[in-house]
Chains A and B, each alone.
Chain A
Amino acid sequence: MPSVIYLDNNATTAVDPLVLEAMLPYLKEFYGNPSSMHSFGGQVGKALSQAREQVAALLGCEPSEILFTSCGSEGNNTAIRAALAAQPEKRHIITTQVEHASVLNPCKHLEKQGYHVTYLSVDEQGCLDLLELEAALTGDTALVTLMAANNETGVLFPIEQVGSLAHDYGAIVHVDAVQAVGKIPLDLHQLPVDLLTLSGHKLHAPKGIGALYVRRGFRFRPLLIGGHQEKGRRAGTENVPGIVALGKAAELAQTYLGDPHEQQLRDALEIGLLQRIPDTQVNGHLLHRLPNTTNLGFKFVEGEAILFWLNKYGICASSGSACTSGSLEPSHVLRAMHLPYTVLHGSIRFSLSRFTQAAEVERVLEVLPGIISHLRAISPFSHEEEDWLQQQERELVLR
């Protein structure tokens, strides 16, 4: 395989060399347990405090409000459980149709336990309707859980408005900010949010480390029960190297916030592809979107086939097509947006990082038009048939 052009940073990111450098001593010489009553362990405890401060600084909150977890899924599960435990008399949850599986599946699970869940819809651009949210909120609503930024389209939800509305009804607000942290500024001093999840490997820390923000004063109930670590809020010996890495990654992310590099390259890629490839559209709102993400629908071709061709050129991206997932259904996010099937199966997500180079974007612009036209030559569907296809789809909806 030629050298890799990695444009799949919403899936995971490269560990920043400075992050690796920061964590290595805690894998080598400083292996003490921070709970131990000797200075060898105590040294390590100081590193944890520093990391907590670094993460808190990125989010605009207090270090004591940060709880380290193992991953985004743990953060989301913990937050949902904690929110329900804090208001045991309430039985209603509001979320959206486009959440990550680590929110959707716990919600589905809770439905079986007698909870009532509202899954808010999105429009064709992937945006929420605040009126629909307001109509769904009742005094029985325990929790509103939604993402800050969508992993597939990059579309941002209006966290501030959602949070204020939810608080008006006495609901707890949890935000899955796994894709947003480090990519857009978040100020938890200002945001009406009670719980917020982040994951290290999406912002150039390694896999296996995450954090949960728990607003001060929140009646928190732990998911993992055992030792007194994390002030009794999450048992288990701390992943010290991971936590140090996350701290460093957060510090670095803060220095890059507002750097236009990613967005400039993303826009160059997006505009370049739209100009070079006919019958292509952007999936998701053009403005309310992460600066690093573009999700493009190439009509009449299938996503997995595109990915395998890109892979041949060393280009890594991902697709919402059915064939790439374990299931046989295309992406639930794109389907919730009611995108036509012509677009759905041929959707490709490119997600950039601060390490993305202009030459790499150029390379995609060079090879992708040829790939799409090759696959379209093989496809039995084409532009002329589009009216017929849309007719077919309308009939399907009517059925």
Chain B
Amino acid sequence: MWDYSEKVLDLFYHPKNQGPMDPTPEPGIRVVTGDVGSITCGDALRLYLKVEEATERILAASFQTFGCTSAIASSSALTELITGLTLDQALKITNRDIADYLGGLPPAKMHCSVMGQEALEAAIYRYRGIPLPVHTDDDSALICSCFGISESKIRRLVRENHLTTVEEVTAYSKAGGGCGSCLADIEDLIATVLAEGGSERPSVAEPRDPVQVKTSAPLTTLQKIAHIQTVLEQQVRPLLIADGGDVELYDVDGDQVWLRLKGACTSCASSQDTLKLAIETRLREQVWPQLTVHAV
């Protein structure tokens, strides 16, 4: 049996804002819907927004959901989160905000919160009369044909939720959860995204304190060590520790930086390479661009 939080069960048994919205227009007010999912996938959400045209403020939101306990609770949570926001403010809501509002979701159920975020975007884009952004389009290559998940959707989830494993991508998007034939593609895609710039900290986390480096003046070794330590402490180690791994600075010599990967990070060679690249990208951006990372 799934281990749901009290909040999930409460919103499942007593959902707020359920049911369709009366589409009869009042002056200055528009009702729009956003749809995501299908009955074949096993879950679907139709979100209704009542928007005051003058202010673009969401006066009310309601939902209809076909899905499991956490899908219904996520939908209800979404309507509570966005009521009273302007559309611009609502667009900043991420799936993580929904999951946090629910006191967390089981990892395998994160896709329920993603569905909420997508329905919200679909409704707002429909209100504004613009086509859906590319990550819900199928413009980019389809990675998972069982659940119809595109490359751009996976890229976005990896970036926004700092995902590092195929299991996480499956939990957030369902991609790979069917026949499993795309699992290797997903693994490659994660490696590519990480190498391109690493996964970002989610917007809800406390603002990062970037290490400002003046590249004009060469850094002393001590300064380098201090800067690298700060980046590792603030941005890298929390993510690794959450996944059962860790990293420590081993040595710095000129542009060469040696790191020691620990715990879960050491278990497979490919994750080691991926991690090395991700950390290197981050350190190059924030400390000095010529450095090279080695694993010891």
Q: Point out residues on A near B: beta carbons under 8 Å.
A: 300-305, 308-309, 311-312, 321-324, 326-330, 341-342, 345, 377-381, 389, 392-393, 396
Q: How far is the CA of A345 from the CA of B68 in the complex (A)?
A: 10
Which residues of chain B come closer than 8 Å to A393, judged between CB atoms? 40
Partner of B64, one of A324, A326, A380: A380
Q: Is the CB of A302 within 8 A of B43?
A: yes
A328 touches B174 (CB 8 A): yes
Residues of B within 8 Å of A, CB-based: how many? 33
Tell me whether B46 and A380 are in contact (CB under 8 A). Answer: yes
Contact status A377-B42, CB under 8 Å: no
For the complex, give the distance between the alpha carbons of A308 and B12 in Å: 9
- Contact A321 to B68, CB < 8 A, known contacts A302-B42, A328-B170: yes
CA distance A326 to B44 in the complex (A): 19
Which residues of B lie under 8 Å from residue A345 when comparing CB positions?
39, 42, 66
Most chain A beta-carbon contacts within 10 A, residue among B12, B15, B42: B42
User: Taking the nearest CB of chain A, how far is it from the CB of B71, in angstroms?
Assistant: 7
User: B202 at interface (Cβ–Cβ under 8 A)?
Assistant: no
Does B108 make an interface contact (CB < 8 A)? Answer: yes
Q: Is the CB of B177 within 8 A of A328?
A: yes
- On whether A323 and B39 interact (CB within 8 A), knowing A305-B12, A328-B147, the answer reads no
Which residues of the other chain, B, contact A324 by a CB distance below 8 angstroms?
A: 68
Within the complex, which residue of B19, B35, B69, B146 is in contact with A304, where a contact is CB–CB below 8 Å? B69
Most buried by B among A300, A309, A377, A380: A380
B38 CB within 8 Å of chain A: yes
User: Nearest residue in B to A346 (C-beta to C-beta)?
Assistant: B66
Which chain A positions have C-beta within 8 A of B39? Answer: 300, 341-342, 345, 381, 389, 392
A381 adjacent to B66 (CB under 8 Å) = yes
Cβ–Cβ < 8 Å partners of B69 in chain A: 304-305, 308, 323
Q: A329 to B177, Cβ gap below 8 A?
A: yes
Bound form: Cα–Cα A88–B221 in Å: 68
A109 CB to closest chain B CB, in angstroms? 15
Complex Cα–Cα for A141 and B131 (A): 57
Contacting residue for A378 out of B40, B64, B177, CB 8 A: B64
**B40: which A residues are within 8 A, CB to CB?**
341, 392-393, 396
Residues of B within 8 A of A377 (CB): 18-19
Q: Are B42 and A322 in contact (CB under 8 A)?
A: yes
Contact A328 B38 (CB under 8 A): no
B213 to chain A, nearest CB (A): 44
20 inter-chain pairs at a CB distance below 8 angstroms, sorted by A residue, are A301-B66, A302-B68, A303-B68, A305-B72, A308-B9, A308-B68, A308-B69, A309-B13, A312-B13, A323-B43, A326-B108, A328-B174, A328-B178, A329-B177, A329-B178, A345-B39, A345-B42, A377-B18, A378-B72, A389-B39
